[in-house]
Chains A and B, each alone.
Chain A
Amino acid sequence: DADVTQTPRNRITKTGKRIMLECSQTKGHDRMYWYRQDPGLGLRLIYYSFDVKDINKGEISDGYSVSRQAQAKFSLSLESAIPNQTALYFCATSEQESSYNEQFFGPGTRLTVL
C-alpha cells in the first residue's frame, strides 16, 4: 500500500464550487505539506503543518485553506474554485526531526476548474 495517498486523483469542477482534496499518510510523520505544480514553474508551497494544531501559510496560500484533522490526515480546500487554480496538487510528508527534510510525496491530484 502507498505510504501517502491522495483523493481524488482527478477532479473536474466548475468555477465557484467548493472543493476538498484529501491526503492520508501511514508513514507516521508529523509534518505535512500541500504543493501546487504548474507547467514550467516547479512546485510551490501552499500550506504546511508541523503538528495537528499547527497550520502555516506557504508561498501561495490565497484562495486555499487547510485542515489537519489528525496526524495522518491533511485536507486542502478551495472555497470558491477559479480557473487559474487548475493545476496538479501534491501532498507530502516529512519527519519532524529530519535535518535534511526529505519529503515523501503522494501521487498527486489533477484538478481542472472550468
Chain B
Amino acid sequence: AQKVTQAQTEISVVEKEDVTLDCVYETRDTTYYLFWYKQPPSGELVFLIRRNSFDEQNEISGRYSWNFQKSTSSFNFTITASQVVDSAVYFCALSLAGYQLIWGAGTKLIIKP
C-alpha cells in the first residue's frame, strides 16, 4: 500500500528555535518522488522541494534543509532559526509512476514571537 504519514499534527515553537517536521512514506515502487509543500494561512499551496528516490543527498536552501533516508523511508524537513513567517501547514507528498500524488495529512507549524 502507498501511504504518507506525518505523525505531528501540530508543532508550536518560539521564534529562532530549530524545528523538524517528520515524513514517513510507504511504497513498493523503486522509482518515486517526494515533495514538500507549504500552505500559509492565505491558503495557497507553495512548492518547496522535489526529491527522487535515487538521490539521497541532503538538500539545504537557506534556513530550510531536507534529510532523505531510504533506509527508514523518511523525508524530514528542518527549519533552522524559525521565523513567524514560517507559520503554515506543511505537507509531504509521494509521487509514483503515472499521475498519482499521495498526500500526508499535514503538520501545522506555529511559530510564536
Contacts and interface: CB of A to CB of B under 8 A. Distances in A.
Interface of A: 31, 33, 40-45, 48, 50, 88, 90, 94, 99-105, 107-108, 110
A100 B103 contact: no
Contacts of A105: 44-45
B45 A90 contact: yes
Contacts of B95: 100-102
A69 to B, nearest CB: 20
A110 B43 CA distance: 9
Interface of B: 4, 9, 33, 35, 43-45, 47, 50, 52, 91, 95, 97-101, 103-106
Contacts of B97: 99
* Closest 3 A/B residue pairs (Cβ): A42-B103, A100-B33, A105-B45
Given A42-B103, A107-B44, A102 B9 contact: no
B43 A42 contact: no
Contacts of A101: 33, 95, 98-101
Nearest to A31: B99
A45 B100 contact: yes
Nearest to B4: A42
B20 to A, nearest CB: 19
A41 B6 CA distance: 11
Contacts of A94: 99
A105 B103 CA distance: 14
Contacts of A108: 43-45
